[in-house]
Amino acid sequence: MPVDATATFTLAEADAGREAARVLKVNAASAGSTLRGTYYGGVSRQRVFNLLDFHFFTYLSFAFMVNFTYNLISQVIDDMFNSIRTFAFFFYLAIIYAASASLVFLASFLVRDKATFFHLASQLWVRYFAAPFSGIRIICRDFHNIPKDKPVIFAINHQSMLDIPIIMGYLPGNYRFIVKKEWFSFPFMGWYTAKAGHIPVARGSFSAYTAVQKAVKELRKGVSIVIFPEGTRSRDGVLGQFKAGSLMAAFLTGAPVIPIAVSGTYRIMPPDSLVMKPSEVTLTVGEPVIVRDKKEAEEKLEQIRSAIRKML
């Protein structure tokens, strides 16, 4: 049967077209795959990661600067506020102290035991007029360890100049402090300290011996004694070594020694600062320690120090 030439050309052309289409489809698929691989698995993906790393580092740096600036401003504001509050508090104390000390002095002419009267008045003054406005929260623990039927010697660690007024306001009973002679030179406060019968001590063995004799005399009268066995305030808040001879009055009179730990005053007012940062103060009372003679005084002194260290 004869074949039409036009039809034959058309069929051949059709076959060629189908082959060309197949080749184009394969090439297109391959190209698309290559492009996708390049974007997701090649250089473009690395660029994306680099951009992400850059933005993350920028964000982290910005967050750090914001946090640093915020903390710095907060610290400056807190320091300024604490300075103003401390000035206002001490100004208030000066006014209240001048008024109350004058009243106590006039009232003391009506009593026989003037030292005890001044001491009890200072306890009330600290407890009800000073402490409530200081912003300091006082916590008292294990005060049941204090004997109520005999005079005792309170052995207390020393962290801050706030220790004495806080102890005076919250430690019950009639007692006298053995304090540095310099304390008596403060205007008005020194006068009141002397009137309250507290015992000065200066550097040197003779002064220490005189202070011990006065302490023994007070103990035999039924008045307790407060000592700071470290001899001075801690410069770093760490409990220091106790001075030899701190317990001399204890074995001379047989009075029990009561260890007391004061914690928190160092944070409120360190030794090199006059600015108060109100916080929490804890007074913890340990069990009584009996010192029978001079031979065991050193051992008992370390026992008392260990008890205070555990309570801090």
pLDDT tens sequence across 17-68: 555 555 445 454 454 444 444 444 444 555 655 655 666 667 677 777 877 7
304 and 240 part of one domain: yes
Per-residue pLDDT, 185 = 85
Instruction: Identify whether residues 170 and 57 lie together within a single domain.
Output: no
Q: Report the pLDDT value the prediction gives residue 106, as an integer from 0 to 100.
A: 92
CATH of the domain at 257: 3.40.1130.10
Same domain, 157 and 245: yes
Tell whether the model's pLDDT for residue 273 goes beyond 70. Answer: yes
The answer to whether residues 24 and 110 belong to one domain is no
5 has a pLDDT exceeding 50: no
Average pLDDT over residues 111-130: 92
Kindly state whether residues 23 and 94 are assigned to the same domain. Answer: no
Q: Give the DSSP letter string of the chain.
A: ----HHHHHHHHHHHHHHHHHHHHHHHHHHHHHHHHHHHHHSHHHHHHHHHHHHHHHHHHHHHHHHHHHHHHHHHHHHHHHHHHHHHHHHHHHHHHHHHHHHHHHHHGGG-S-HHHHHHHHHHHHIIIIIGGGTTPEEEEE-GGGS-SSS--EEEE----TTHHHHHHHHS-S-EEEEEEGGGGGSTTHHHHHHHTT-EEE-SSHHHHHHHHHHHHHHHHTT-EEEE-TTSS--SSSS--PPPTTTTHHHHHH-PPEEEEEEESHHHHS-TT-------EEEEEE---B---SSTTHHHHHHHHHHHHHHH-
Q: What is the pLDDT of residues 214-267, one digit of tens each?
A: 999 999 999 999 999 998 888 888 999 999 889 999 999 999 999 999 999 999
> Is residue 66 in some structural domain?
no
Q: Which domain holds residue 18?
A: 5-61
- Looking at the 3D structure of the chain, how many domains does it have? 2
Tell me which of 53-67, 169-183, 288-302 is least confident.
Answer: 53-67
Q: What is the pLDDT of residues 73-87, one digit of tens each?
A: 877 787 788 888 888
Give pLDDT, residue 82. Answer: 82
Residues 231 and 275 in one domain: yes
277 and 171 both lie in a single domain = yes
Query: Quick one: pLDDT at residue 32?
Result: 47
